Amino acid sequence: MMVYLNNKLVPQNKAFISVFDHGFLYGDGVYETLRAYSGVAFKLDEHIERLFRSAEMIGLKVSKSHEGIKRAVYKTMKANNQKSAFIRINISRGIGPIGLDTELCPKPTFAIISNTFKEYPGEFYKMGVKIAIVNVRRNLRDALNPMIKSLNFLNNILANIEGKNRGAYEAVMLNYKGYVAEGTTSNIFFVKNSILYTPAIDVGILDGITRYVILDIARELGIKYKDGRFTREGIYSADEVFISSTTREIMPVSHVDNVKIGTKIGRITKTLLTAYRKKVEEYIEEHR
C-alpha cells in the first residue's frame, strides 16, 4: 500500500514520522475519515471543509489548498488501485522539541492513508447492533469541543473500552449534564411516534456529515424531525434507534443497554437507509 506523506507517495513500510512529531507527543492535530464508492470520495468537499475548520479551531495552518488536498486524495487512491476505499486524512502539528508551544513546530505533517473498504457484516443492517450508554462523559464543549475532529481521541477510546467490556458494538456518551451526545465514532438518532430525533450540535457533538445528509433526506421525504436535548430514557423508549457515520452510513440498533428496541431494522430507519444509498449513487454519477 502507498501512503501519501507530506508531498509524496511512499510505500507503507517507509511511511514513518518522527517521535518528535507533536501528533505523537500530544495528540496535537486533526483528521478526517472518508468513504469512496466506485472511485468517488463521497462528500469530499464537505470533509475537507470540516478539516480546515478543525485545523482553524486549534490554530493549525494547513499547508495545502482545498483543491490540493482533493488531488492528493485521488492520487493516493489511484496509486493503490482502489475504487471502494476507507480514507484518512491526517494533519499533525509537526516536528518540534518537547513543549506545548505550537510555534515549536514550523511544519505540519500531512498524511493520507487509503485502505480498501471492508464492508460491515450484512447482519448489522438487517438485525441491528447493540449499543451501550456508558459512564464516560463526552468532553465538555468549553474544554475540548467535539466539533474539533482531533487526533486526541482518549475520550472516545475510554468510552470504547467501557462499551466493549459491556459487550456493546458502539458506546454512546452523555454530555456533562446527562444529555445524550454521540457515539465514539458515530452520531445517534431515534424515532418515536414517526418523528426523528437527534441531539443538537450544542449538546457538544461532532456535526457528522452523514447526520446532515440524513436530515436533508428527512426534509425531502417529509419525515418530521427535531434536534434537541434528550435523556437516556428517551432512547430507551424509542421505537427505532440508529447510529450514523461516513463508513457505516445508517446502522440500526437492536438493543440499548439491556433494553430491546427491535430485532429488525425499523420502518423509518429502512426508508432513510435506502434514500441514503440512493443519494450516494446520485453523487457518484455527478462526480465521476
**Is 130 a residue of the active site?**
no
CB 139 within 8 A of CB 176: no
Candidate list 139, 246, 254, 269; residue touching ligand PMP; CB under 6 A? 246
What CA–CA distance (Å, rounded) separates 273 from 217?
Answer: 10
Nearest Cα neighbor of 209 from 175, 270, 250, 264 is 250
Other CB atoms within 10 A of residue 5 CB: 19
The active-site residue out of 8, 78, 130, 149 is 149
Number of residues that bind ligand PMP (CB under 6 A): 14
Q: Which stretch binds ligand PMP (CB under 6 A): 74-82, 120-128, 238-246, 280-288?
A: 238-246
The b-or-e profile of 45-56 (16+ CB within 10 A means b, else e) is eebbebbbebbe
Q: Which residue has the cell 443519494?
A: 279
Q: Which stretch binds ligand PMP (CB under 6 A): 9-17, 217-225, 242-250, 277-285?
A: 242-250
Shortest gap between Cβ of 183 and ligand PMP (angstroms)? 6
* Contacting range for ligand PMP; rule: CB under 6 A; set: 13-21, 81-89, 192-200, 239-247: 239-247
Residue at shortest CB range from ligand PMP? 208
Q: Can you tell me the distance from the alpha carbon of 27 to that of 65, in angstroms, rounded to the nearest whole number?
A: 23
Q: What is the largest CA-CA distance in the chain?
A: 57
User: Between residues 20 and 86, which has the closer beta carbon with respect to ligand PMP?
Assistant: 86
Closest approach, Cβ 94 to ligand PMP, in A, equals 23
Of 156 and 254, nearer to ligand PMP (C-beta) is: 156
Residue closer to ligand PMP (CB basis): 155 or 254 = 155
| Interface with ligand PMP, residue 72, by CB under 6 A | no
Helix axes 209-221, 267-287, angle to 10 degrees: 110
Q: CA 79, CA 85: separation in Å to the nearest integer?
A: 12
Nearest to residue 186, comparing CAs of 174, 171, 175, 196? Answer: 171
In the range 106-165, which residues lie near ligand PMP by CB under 6 A? 156
By CB under 6 A, the residues from 185 to 214 that bind ligand PMP are 185-187, 206, 208-211
Interacting residues toward ligand PMP by CB under 6 A: 33, 156, 182, 185-187, 206, 208-211, 244-246
Which active-site residues does the annotation give? 149
